[in-house]
Chain A
């Protein structure tokens, strides 16, 4: 008997008098003590599915739910709002991606934990009594210990912003368990965390779920995370369920082409793909797009005529796997797509590297004392400590590190957005020191361009694509008028965007398209080095490959060097020529990716490698 049962669940949201179906006829079940991962990219409907189980959507938008959501025989959509309020607590706990934002910034942790205490047998209002408070306090204390925060009294007296990201997520987990739920919903709970923290939190999830015998619906976009945490996996695409099965079957013998493609897109540790990553062409369809057939058909390599005329239904096959596909894949997943690929010839050491960084240090907060006012003295923080490196022409240099490691600050100093406190950065004849840029600073800017993580906020929402790409050209080159327009058009073409894109606004583009615009803007002034700070981490895996491939191609064609800053170890190890590892402001190791994977001696690098969710290892050990 399954504990949670979704029976033909459809969700329609009403916005601006238009009804949009976000999720279409999802049927799933989760047994007691089982973890089901819902995997999908943005727009797949995985988050709204979870939100509809706990009925949180109705607070933010007018939604209509059809079909059944049964939790231990209670049909959730039929409850009144008031009944749902009572039902929700004590049965369903939820953990969100944004732990800090999910906690009240002006309340102490303890108070927020106690407020969540309302076990099913509690009399309403009992929390206000002495006994109720004591029971809640005891529960909170024991849960904080369970989630690995034994210093309970101190923690309860703190405010959310005083905790680290990992601790905040532990608090959220404790909060979700305050009323002993039978179902735990987790929406990307580890996505915002560093790999080492992620590994700890995943471990915590597994342990708690076992000990409390909870059913768990775990939403993630990361196949590696799904491999570590789930018993079964449901793959969603464009609001439809496309494939469900045991973790092992889904990860090693996927039948649906989307699942296959998704798995092939994930960069694998130890698999070099210097000629390019796998990606899925095109983009996820919008929920408003009317498609007669399979929603994946426009991107599917195996699509036939029937795929575009009728929607496939979920059908069971041998074993436990169900999938919705007319032409299911039969050949086993090719795990070694790029293994054996010959590495690009080792870069010839040149006398004139594009970039030379020697001994740079950045200290934030000057440590200056204001007379008599001790409290105003800023604590000096060393963000980057004595880092030296060089990047050769045409080299793709990957820089990895966790949050706070100083990798972004280093990138900003190299791009002269920030002056170093000590040391020198040289690009060609230009030098950048604590005194600023020597010589023509425009020339310096021309030789180094930037691509940022979030193309949504780094592009001016009121400027057209042509204006965005044209701006640095106007500032840094002598191109004007028709010449400028021609150049902009050719740049748009070069990053693989249709010519009509030039009159669009960033809001009219998808995430991947926006990042292409950012790339076009960066290569416009013909720089010699591009500093790319997490350019793909806001993108879906299927699109990440597209963007990386453009960067790799640009490098080949233009002999462009890259400083590629990321927290994604698998990604950078599969494409970069050399990788530098940063830890607490220091560059602790630099080496060829293969050497890093196989022979790294630095304990921090080993720790990172161990914490990295390894899909390939799962697939090869569970054939």
Chain B
């Protein structure tokens, strides 16, 4: 077990190095000079050069690269231009909303998917269960930005149950927070939940024809117990990777939804950094998301080792 973690940590360092390097050069390929973006096109060349020096973006590219990497290794990601704060602080400011939404919607989607599939497996002739199952196809097909606008129109503007946008921290004012989170989470749960249902149902169907379920039935278990106790744990294994990747994807990529709902999360931050040519923030943010992906993957793999006896006891 410890060996697996060690090996994966070594992998993690290699991946981050590669990702960091790629990011650095790709971002430098974006046209536009941050110094000009910051000071305006009327600024004097000396002022621009001085700012470039400050930002660590003057001189030959390879020196910039080495300098940046050297500082990153020491934990210094530089200063964000648009926020005028250290990059790590800016990321810390924006992580909470994104993480809150990602965790809540992933958990809800997962629970919903488990409920629908177990219900379907244990009472295959129940029409409500079947309808829910079919709806997941539609849920997968709806684009999230469209759904977001639709929900805002129906629930926020027409019914006036919740505000159209904004974000309140869940630890500050839970009630207000839930009101603001409701719509973005609903949009994500519909899309994510649908894809979980489809994958999980596939897994469940595969398990339902397994011979150990015949044994479970010989024991006289109810169909619900057969599905819940025996089929589900085995069907869950393959879905773990998908849940993990989905979660990491949410953290790095709900740009559109954050924009629609005006949520000050990582997506909004990254978008701002691109528009403002805030190279250091962009690099730091992207690297952070990469770390997140790799870590979530590592956690998923470790979960496999915990849940799957064939991996654990070998």
B211 at the interface (CB under 8 A from A): yes
Q: Which residue of A lies closest to B229 (CB)?
A: A115
Residues of B within 8 A of A60 (CB): 209
A 106-149 to B, binary, CB cutoff 8 A, 1 in contact else 0:
11100010011010000000000000000000000000000000
Q: Which residue of B lies closest to A104 (CB)?
A: B212
Contact: A102 with B220, CB < 8 Å?
no
B75 at the interface (CB under 8 A from A): no
A56 to B220, CA, bound (A): 11
**Min distance, Cβ B177 to any Cβ of chain A, angstroms:** 38
Contact: A59 with B214, CB < 8 Å?
yes
A-B contact pairs, 24 of them (CB 8 A): A54-B218, A56-B217, A56-B218, A89-B220, A90-B220, A92-B218, A96-B214, A98-B211, A101-B211, A102-B214, A105-B310, A106-B307, A106-B308, A107-B230, A107-B233, A115-B216, A116-B219, A118-B219, A159-B313, A161-B310, A172-B215, A175-B215, A176-B218, A373-B6
A172 to B211, CA, bound (A): 12
B155 at the interface (CB under 8 A from A): no
Residues of A within 8 A of B44 (CB): none
Contact: A102 with B212, CB < 8 Å?
yes
Within 8 A of B (CB), among A535-578: none
Instruction: Give the interface size class of chain B.
Output: 20 to 34
Q: Which of B3, B217, B237 has the most CB of A within 10 A?
A: B217
Q: Which residue of B lies closest to A97 (CB)?
A: B211
A595 to B3, CA, bound (A): 54
New contact pairs (13) apart from A104-B215, A372-B6, CB-CB < 8 Å: A54-B218, A86-B220, A93-B218, A102-B212, A102-B214, A103-B212, A103-B215, A104-B216, A104-B230, A105-B309, A106-B234, A107-B230, A373-B6
B58 at the interface (CB under 8 A from A): no
**Min distance, Cβ B252 to any Cβ of chain A, angstroms:** 31
Residues of B within 8 A of A106 (CB): 233-234, 237, 307-309
Given A103-B212, A373-B6, A374-B3 in contact, is the A59-B217 Cβ separation under 8 Å? Answer: yes
A533 to B223, CA, bound (A): 42
Q: Which residue of A lies closest to B233 (CB)?
A: A106
Given A161-B310, A162-B313, A376-B3 in contact, is the A105-B212 Cβ separation under 8 Å? Answer: yes
Residues of A within 8 A of B308 (CB): 106
Residues of B within 8 A of A248 (CB): none
A73 at the interface (CB under 8 A from B): no
A59 to B308, CA, bound (A): 27
A162 to B6, CA, bound (A): 26
A331 at the interface (CB under 8 A from B): no
Contact: B222 with A56, CB < 8 Å?
no
Given A106-B234, A106-B308, A159-B309 in contact, is the A88-B218 Cβ separation under 8 Å? Answer: yes
A210 at the interface (CB under 8 A from B): no
**Min distance, Cβ A176 to any Cβ of chain B, angstroms:** 8
A107 to B313, CA, bound (A): 13
Residues of B within 8 A of A90 (CB): 220
A463 at the interface (CB under 8 A from B): no
B221 at the interface (CB under 8 A from A): yes
B210 at the interface (CB under 8 A from A): yes
Given A102-B215, A375-B3 in contact, is the A85-B309 Cβ separation under 8 Å? Answer: no
Q: What is the size, in residues, of chain A's interface with B at 8 Å between Cβ atoms? A: 37
Residues of B within 8 A of A372 (CB): 6
Counting residue pairs across A and B whose Cβ atoms lie within 8 Å, the total is 80
A488 at the interface (CB under 8 A from B): no
Within 8 A of A (CB), among B192-239: 209-212, 214-222, 229-230, 233-234, 237
A 362-378 to B, binary, CB cutoff 8 A, 1 in contact else 0:
00000000001111100
Partner of A118, one of B4, B6, B220, B233: B220
Residues of A within 8 A of B209 (CB): 60
Given A118-B219, A175-B215 in contact, is the A105-B234 Cβ separation under 8 Å? Answer: yes
Residues of B within 8 A of A579 (CB): none
Residues of B within 8 A of A85 (CB): 220-222
**Min distance, Cβ A608 to any Cβ of chain B, angstroms:** 29
Given A159-B309, A373-B6 in contact, is the A101-B218 Cβ separation under 8 Å? Answer: no
Q: Which residue of B lies closest to A108 (CB)?
A: B309
Residues of B within 8 A of A115 (CB): 216, 219, 221, 229
Residues of A within 8 A of B309 (CB): 105-106, 108, 159, 161
A94 at the interface (CB under 8 A from B): yes
Within 8 A of B (CB), among A325-373: 372-373
Residues of B within 8 A of A98 (CB): 211
Contact: B215 with A96, CB < 8 Å?
yes
Residues of A within 8 A of B221 (CB): 85, 115
Q: Which residue of A lies closest to B221 (CB)?
A: A115
Residues of A within 8 A of B230 (CB): 104, 107
Partner of A89, one of B218, B229, B307: B218
Partner of A104, one of B217, B234, B310: B234
**Min distance, Cβ B308 to any Cβ of chain A, angstroms:** 7
Residues of A within 8 A of B237 (CB): 106
Residues of B within 8 A of A54 (CB): 218
Residues of A within 8 A of B216 (CB): 104, 115
Q: Which of B212, B307, B308, B310 has the most CB of A within 10 A?
A: B212
A430 to B75, CA, bound (A): 64
| Shortest beta-carbon contacts, A-B, top 4 | A89-B220, A101-B211, A159-B309, A375-B3
Residues of B within 8 A of A86 (CB): 220
**Min distance, Cβ B212 to any Cβ of chain A, angstroms:** 5
B 1-35 to A, binary, CB cutoff 8 A, 1 in contact else 0:
00110110000000000000000000000000000
A373 to B229, CA, bound (A): 36
**Min distance, Cβ A179 to any Cβ of chain B, angstroms:** 8
Contact: A56 with B212, CB < 8 Å?
no
Residues of B within 8 A of A116 (CB): 218-219
Residues of A within 8 A of B3 (CB): 373-376
Q: Which residue of A lies closest to B3 (CB)?
A: A375
Q: Which residue of B lies closest to A115 (CB)?
A: B219
A59 to B210, CA, bound (A): 12
**Min distance, Cβ A112 to any Cβ of chain B, angstroms:** 8
Residues of A within 8 A of B233 (CB): 106-107
**Min distance, Cβ B165 to any Cβ of chain A, angstroms:** 44
Within 8 A of A (CB), among B151-190: none
A373 to B222, CA, bound (A): 46
Contact: B210 with A101, CB < 8 Å?
yes
A 77-91 to B, binary, CB cutoff 8 A, 1 in contact else 0:
000000001101110
Residues of A within 8 A of B6 (CB): 372-373
Contact: A56 with B214, CB < 8 Å?
yes
Residues of B within 8 A of A375 (CB): 3-4
B 261-305 to A, binary, CB cutoff 8 A, 1 in contact else 0:
000000000000000000000000000000000000000000000
Residues of A within 8 A of B211 (CB): 96, 98, 101-102
A118 to B219, CA, bound (A): 8
A104 to B210, CA, bound (A): 9
**Min distance, Cβ A375 to any Cβ of chain B, angstroms:** 4
Q: Which residue of A lies closest to B215 (CB)?
A: A102
A103 to B214, CA, bound (A): 9
A14 to B91, CA, bound (A): 62
Q: Which residue of A lies closest to B236 (CB)?
A: A106
**Min distance, Cβ A222 to any Cβ of chain B, angstroms:** 21
Residues of A within 8 A of B7 (CB): 373, 376
Q: Which residue of B lies closest to A98 (CB)?
A: B211
A106 to B229, CA, bound (A): 10
Contact: A101 with B212, CB < 8 Å?
yes
Within 8 A of B (CB), among A359-399: 372-376
Q: Which residue of A lies closest to B310 (CB)?
A: A161
